[in-house]
A and B are shown apart, each in its own frame.
Chain A
Amino acid sequence: MAYTNNDHQTCQIRTAETKVAVGADDGDTQDLLRTISLFLVLMAVWLLLSGHYTPLITGFGIVSCLLSALIAYRMDVIDRESHPIHLGPRIIFYWGWLMAEIYKANLDVAKCILFPKKHLRPSMFTEKVTQKSDLGKVIYANSITLTPGTVTVDLDGDIVMVHALTKASADGVKSGDMDRRVTAVMEEA
C-alpha cells in the first residue's frame, strides 16, 4: 500500500514538471497576472476579517499575503482552473442571470412542497454537456445543482445525470438554455 502511494506521488510530481516545461512559454504574463490577482483577493479578505488597521498589524497582513502569493506562484498551483480570471466580467452577468433563475425555481419548489399531489413529478434523465473544459463542466453541473428543483446526480465524461423535481424544472434543463449560456461564458463554441 505504502509503496503504491509513493509511486503515485512521484508520478504526479513528474507530470507537474512536464506541465511547467510545456506551460513556461505560453502563459507567463497570465501567471503573473493571476498571482497579482490572488494577492489582491487575499489582501481584501485580510482587511475584511481583521478589523484592526494599525500599521503593524496591516504590515503583518501585507507580508503574509505576499508570502502566500509567492509560495503559490512557486508551487505553480494558480492555473486557469483554480483562479479563472480569464472569465472576466462575463461570469458576473451569468451570476445575475443565475440569481433570477434561482428565484423562479425556488417559487416552483415551494409550490411543489405545499401542493405535492398537483406538482410533484420526480424524474431522472441524462443529458449531454457541450462544454469541453473541466471548469466549464463543473460550472454547469454546479449551476444545475444550485437551482432548486434540479440536482446533478452524476457527471461522467460529457454526460450529466440530473434528478428533477417537477416537469417544469426537468424541461428547463432539457431545453439547454443554461448549457448554452455556460458555453458562452467559457467562450467554447
Chain B
Amino acid sequence: MKLKQLEGLLGGLTQFPAPKVELEQYPTGPHIASRMLYTVSQCCTFDSDAFPALLREGRMLSFSSWDGFGMRCGGFVVIVSGIMELGAIATKCSFGSASTELLGYSLYVVIYIDRHVIGIDIDPQALELAQQNAADLELDIDLIWSGIKNLNLKVFQSIPSLLADRKIFGAGFHIDTVVMNPPFGTRKKGADMEFLSMGLKVASQAVYSLHKTSTREHIKKTALRDYNAIHAEVLCELRYDLPQTYKFHKKKEVDIAVDLWRFVPNARRSSS
C-alpha cells in the first residue's frame, strides 16, 4: 500500500469524540499515523532474523502478498495507542481496513496475529467506539478492557515445543513488534516512559514509538540503560499536527516536533 492510500484510509475514520485529559488522549491524525506506519513497514523486513528459518520449516503464514508487519509465523504485533491499528492492518493486505478510533493516548494495545486482532484500552468509551467501527467495517476484532500495567497476557513460555524455538522467538515471546504513540508525559510525568518500558518488555523484535524531540537524549539513555534495549535510533523526525483538543490549549493548532524511534529489545534475555 502506498503512503497516500494509507493516509486516505486513515483519514476516513471517525475521530475520537471526547478525549480525556487525564489519559492524555489526543487523536493520532492521519498525517502522522500514516507516516509512522509507512516508515515502520519499510523497516520491518529487516527485523526478522527468524524469517528464513521459518520459511525453511515451512511454517510461514500466507503473508506473501504483503511485506509489512507481522510477517513472522503466528507472531504477534502489538500496537499501542491509536489509529495505527487500522494502518497496520491496511498495510497488511487483503484484510482491508480495521476499526477503530480507539484513538487517543489512553492505553491502546492491539495484538495482531494474522487475522486475529485484539484491541486493549483502559477507556471503556474508546472500546465501545472501536466496537462500533469494527462492526461498521464488518471486522471481527476482540477487545479487552484493561490498563497497561495490569495487562496479563500469557506469553506461552511453558509450552515445550516452543522451548526449542526459543532462539527464534527470543525468550518465548510471541509478540514481535510494538508500535505505539504513547502519551508524551506532558500531563502525567513519566507516562511516556511507562509505555516504552512496557513495550520493550513484551516485544521480541522491535519497538517503534513516537516521542517528543525535546526528550531525545533522555529517551535514548533510559532505553539503553534501564529498559533492556540494545539499540535505539531515531528513524525520522515528524511534525505532530495537534489540533486544539482541550480548554487549556491556547492556540488553535500546534505542530510538535516528534521523533519516530526504533528500539531493539534484548530478546536473548532469559525468561522468568
Partners in one complex: no
Residues of A within 8 A of B (CB): none
